[in-house]
Every structure is written in C-alpha cells, then in structure tokens.
Amino acid sequence: MLNKATMERNKVEIRNESYIVMIGPSMTLARGGMASVVLAYKEAGLFEKWPIIYLETHKETSILLKLVLGLTALFQFILLLYQKKVVLLHANIAGRMSFLRKSVFMLAARCVGVPYMIHIHGSAFKVFYEMNSGKLMKRYIRFIFDRSSAIVALSEEWQTWLLGISDNQNIRLIRNPVQLPLNVIHDDESQRVHNVIFLGKMVEKKGILDLLHAFNLLIKKSPVPVHLWIGGEGNKIVVEDLINDLCLNDHVTILGWIQGETKVQLLNNADVLVLPSHNEVLPMSILEALAYRVPVVASRIGGIPDAISDGVEGFLVEVGDINAISESILKIISDSEARKVMRVNARNKAESLFDDKVIVAKISKLYKELGGVKQTDYV
C-alpha cells in the first residue's frame, strides 16, 4: 500500500506530465479582442484550475521577431509532444495568418494522437474563408476543422455558420467572459456633460468614421452637452483629419490604447458606448460596457444581437446608418430615466450570459470531456 509521501510524489509526477497547451497572442504585448479574452480567462481563474502552458504565437513587434516568436513556440510545443506531456491543445484563432500559424500546431498534435480544440475569435476568419480562400484553402480549413475534438463559437450565428462549413458536430456555444465589477455608480444628472465612448481599433471596419459623422449630427441637435472619448489605436491621422474637417476638435478626445484603471474610470463615467462595426463576432468592449451598466449602440451583426436586445440594453442599428447611430445616442443621453432602466438591463444581461465564472465553468466542462486533468485533482 502506498504511503502518503509516495502518493504526494505521484501527484507531482502527474502534474508535470499532463498539460493543456493553449496557444494565442501575448496577453501583455498584443492589442486586440483575442488577447483581451485570453486575459479575461486567466483573471477569472482558468489557469489556476487547470495545468495550462500558454505559448505566445504573436505580439506587436517587427515581422522578424514575430517569426522568431512563432517558431520558438512551435519548437516548445513539439518538444512537449515528444515528451508526451500534452493532453490537449487549445488553439485560439482569428483571421488568415492566425489560422495558418496555428494549423501547424494542430497538425503536429494530430500526428501523435493528441486532441485539439479550436476557439474562434474575430470576424476576420469568416471573411478569410468566404472571400479570400480558394477551393484548396477551403478544403484545408475543413480538414483541420473536421478533425478537431471541439470548436468553440462565440455566438449562435457563428455556431450555425460553422455547422454549415464543417462536418464537425461538436461545435459549442461558449460566449466571451467578462468580470463583473462591484458597486458601479453612475452620475445621471441631466445637466452635466454626457460621455459617449468608443473602445476599439480606429479603422473603418470598426465604424469609427461612421461614428464621427453621426456625432457631428448629434451635437447639432442634442439638448445636453456631449463629448466623445475614443479609446484605441489605428489610423489616427485619418481620424484626426476627419475630426478637423467636421470641426469636432472641442468635442472629441483621442485617448489611444487604454487599459487598467484608465479604462475602468472611462466606463464608470460613460453614458453610452458606441460600436458601429462593419464586421464583428462578440466584441469585449460591449461586454465590458454591459458589466459597467453602460447602454450600448452597436451594429446588428455577428453575435452583437446576443448581447444587445434593441431598446433593452441599448439600440441596434444597420451597418453604415449614420442617422440611426445619431438618433440612438440621442435617445439615451436625452432621457435620464430611460437610461437608468437600460443600465439595469445591461448589468442583468452581463450577469445572465457573460459572467466570467459561468463561462470558465463551461470551458472547464469541455476540458474535462476532452481529457484534461484539473489542478484540483492533484490536491
């Protein structure tokens, strides 16, 4: 019969031999939705519950250093496979290059019989598949997808779309997680300056130019003073030129990339978040707004209707409809009582669908089904 010391030693050996390898962008040196989601999982305790080795395959740096980073991660993964320490590969993918890089990891895992799961982030993948892939590339994508042990979709729309391009039937709907802050209090005094915020990359597909044109209409008819705060990087020169052309310099502030306490303060002071994107899956900025009781105006695309019901937590608009964007913002900032109701509805939606603890439990359930061994199983 094993004594206690031997049992403890065996537990350590199991821990050292059984890992889930997750691949994705740097959580600190990459900027975007995927990095934010992975960081949200880590902050919610997923990495504490499971023996996860995280391999960074991308960060914001030079092309040469990106190549070195990717090859280093691949070498580390192959070494772990050779040592038979990998029980599951969790691949986070987005667009073309993200998929191509990580498909090599998935092929390597398949060669030695290690299961892999695919977690799709970002609308770029759908564009890549439908518009930028020939027959051969589509066949390769389906080959990788069909042999995955599970595919994670962020919305019902994406789950349906994935079922249409792949024979894989194990496509799980697991939405993005968001941490729910405590004691969020907003000032809904009607006479103060009202804060409209945009959190995202300053590029056309995120709708930033549409927002500026809509905001120009808004300030001409708003009964209350209003200011637009832009948090994000991107085509700053193009955005600044449009701000100058529309004479919005006194009404718009570009903050650049924000995170941590700066983002918290901005959300605490916000009256409405606007994200009139042209393509999306389930943007983290909308989930963060809901968690902080901030009404949302967003495009009726991707997984956004899963998060926002028109007229309940905010308003949904058609892509590029500048008048609708302006009118929707106006309805929220000009009616303090309706805004208060939307704030309550927003928080309720965050708690019911996107609570990070609930989402981590769903990922944990999937890990267990696919052969993962929890950290808590060792102690």
Q: What pTM value is reported for the model?
A: 0.86
For position 11, what pLDDT does the model report? Answer: 41
Alpha-carbon torsion 205, 211, 212, 216, what sign?
Answer: positive
For position 8, what pLDDT does the model report? Answer: 43
For position 266, what pLDDT does the model report? Answer: 95
Consecutive 10-residue averages of pLDDT for the chain (379 residues): 40 62 84 84 94 91 87 96 96 93 97 97 90 96 97 94 95 95 78 91 94 97 94 94 96 92 94 95 93 97 94 97 98 94 96 95 96 58
**Domain spans of the chain?**
4-177+356-378, 194-353
Domains 4-177+356-378 and 194-353 share a fold: yes
3-state secondary structure of 235: coil
Q: Which fold has domain 4-177+356-378?
A: Rossmann fold (3.40.50)
For position 373, what pLDDT does the model report? Answer: 66
What is the per-residue pLDDT across 42-54, written as a single tens digit (0 to 9) for each? Answer: 999 999 999 999 9
Q: Which fold has domain 194-353?
A: Rossmann fold (3.40.50)
Give CA separation, 29 vs 22, 101, 105, 286, in Å: 17, 18, 21, 22
Beta strands in the chain (DSSP E): 19-25, 52-58, 86-93, 116-120, 150-153, 171-173, 194-199, 226-231, 252-256, 272-275, 296-299, 314-317
For position 12, what pLDDT does the model report? Answer: 37
